[in-house]
Amino acid sequence: MFEFEILSIFLILSIFLAISMLFISAIASPKNNNEIKEMSYECGNNIQDIFQGKFNMHFLSYSILFLIFDAETIFLFPFALSYEILGIFSLLEITFFISLLLIGLIYAIKKNLLRLR
């Protein structure tokens, strides 16, 4: 029961801290907006000046594949920490999970999705 009390205190304090930071920044921030401050920019350059044409859709598939395999790492980390507790059945489940991702990787390699054109 003591763990839940600590967790609830931590949750309440973190919510209070987040709300108080938002409130203080809303009060303390300057309110003089003009056209130059509201322009969008990236790395100090105007976006309208940089953009030269269409994006290659190959980069979209490359980024989606990166996110998929990045999520694999996120799911593997808790398993690696608690393998001794979970037992042999969890090893079979994680083997199935990795094999599905391996099939996806083989598919991506065969379709040349990992090569930049």
- Each of the 117 residues of the chain gets a pLDDT tens digit; together they read 678 899 999 999 999 999 999 999 989 987 787 777 777 666 666 666 555 667 677 777 778 888 888 888 888 888 888 878 888 888 888 889 889 888 988 988 888 877 766
Q: How far apart are CA 102 and CA 109, in angstroms?
A: 10
Could you tell me the pTM of the whole model?
0.47
Q: Token digits for 15?
A: 């919510």
pLDDT of residue 59: 77
Domain ranges of the chain: 2-110
115 three-state secondary structure = coil
Q: Is residue 94 classed exposed, middle or buried when 0-12, 13-18 and 19+ CB atoms within 10 A define those classes?
A: middle
Q: Which CATH number applies to 2-110?
A: 1.20.58
What is the enclosing helix (H) or strand (E) of 41? strand 41-42
